[in-house]
Amino acid sequence: MRALGPSQRPYGRMMLAALQILILAAGIYLLVVGLVFLGQRRLMYHPGGVAGAPADAGLPDAAAVRVSTADGFELQSWYLAPRSGRPVLLYLHGNAGTIADRAFKARLFARQGIGVMLAEYRGYGGNSGSPTETGLYADARANLAWLANQGHGPGDIIVYGESLGTGVAVQAALEQAQAGTPVRALVLEAPFTTMSDAAGVHYPWLPTGLLTRDRYASSAKIGAVQCPVLVVHGSADRVVPQGQGRRLFALAAEPKTAAWLSGAGHGDVYDFGAGEIILDFLDARPSGGGGVPSAR
């Protein structure tokens, strides 16, 4: 074997240094990927503190009720009864805060006689347990079962999902459709297609499709929910870009309606008229593609 000449030795040392840097960078990247994989639920779920009493959140007519899940958890949710002949809205909130933070939405619906079940998840609002995809699905089932025990059948129930809660809401509506008892309507505020898609927006340098454990694959389910669907999404949403809501809406079957709110972000759609749009949609009870017109 020929030895490197004097002119070749610096090149060889540079190649060796470059290789060492690449190995180090790859090692650091794999370490970061491993840490994200292990800690992803801490990144995904941000429970608030104790929700407190409904009256403290401005809902003096709401009752704090105990809901039992099939896997042994006792959850506290808040329930506002509907006026006679009016439906009940099951509210499934996003990944941060508690049901107390959504009390202003409950007041809007209650003023129109619509009942509201603000469902609190395991690990949130003072409830025991830790949130997971399968756990939150079980929590939604438990809240639906509680409503059924109060005499509210699926045909009287509007399932409403906000952000992370849209993944739970789509699953709940799908299960009711598969059981032959579809819900009255499905409302999705700032929905994503899948959790891996949503995560990819914020971590484009990670293989989120491979790493995500709690997938919330709404795009594979939305077409089979068998009820009227409303999607409300802001054009300035930087958490879940509106494009994901548009793709999910395209996959939904008729009857469906969308409100694409110009200038609205992720958490302020009610400042852009979302509440009134949702009320109009619910009163219209669309069939065959009716309901409120799309907002531009």
Does 291 fall in a domain? Answer: no
This prediction has a pTM of 0.89
- What totals of helices (H) and strands (E) does the chain contain, helices first? 8, 10
The one-character DSSP state at 155 is G
pLDDT of residue 203: 84
Amino acid in position 257: T
208 occurs within a structural domain: yes
Give the helix ranges, DSSP H, for the chain: 9-44, 103-110, 133-149, 164-178, 195-202, 208-211, 242-251, 274-284
User: What CA–CA distance (Å, rounded) separates 204 from 255?
Assistant: 34
Model pLDDT, residue 3: 56
Inside any domain, residue 126: yes
Range of the domain at 96: 9-284
Domain assignment of residue 14, yes or no:
yes
Q: Is residue 296 included in any domain, yes or no?
A: no
* Per-residue confidence (pLDDT) for residue 240, from 0 to 100: 97
Q: Is residue 294 part of a domain?
A: no
Site of tokens 């370490």: 31
Q: Which segments of 45-132 does DSSP mark as H helices, in order?
A: 103-110
Other beta carbons less than 10 A from residue 233's beta carbon: 28
Query: How many structural domains are present in the chain?
Result: 1
The residues that are catalytic are 163, 237, 266
Mean pLDDT of the chain: 91
**φ/ψ (deg, to 5) at 95:** -85, -10
CA dist 74 and 205 (Å) reads: 39
Instruction: Answer yes or no: is 290 within a domain.
Output: no
Residues of the chain with pLDDT below 50 are 286-296
The CATH number covering residue 137 comes to 3.40.50.1820
Per-residue pLDDT tens digits for 164-210: 999 999 999 999 999 999 999 999 999 999 999 999 898 898 888 88
Residue 207 CA to residue 214 CA, distance in Å, equals: 14
Residue 292 lies in a domain: no
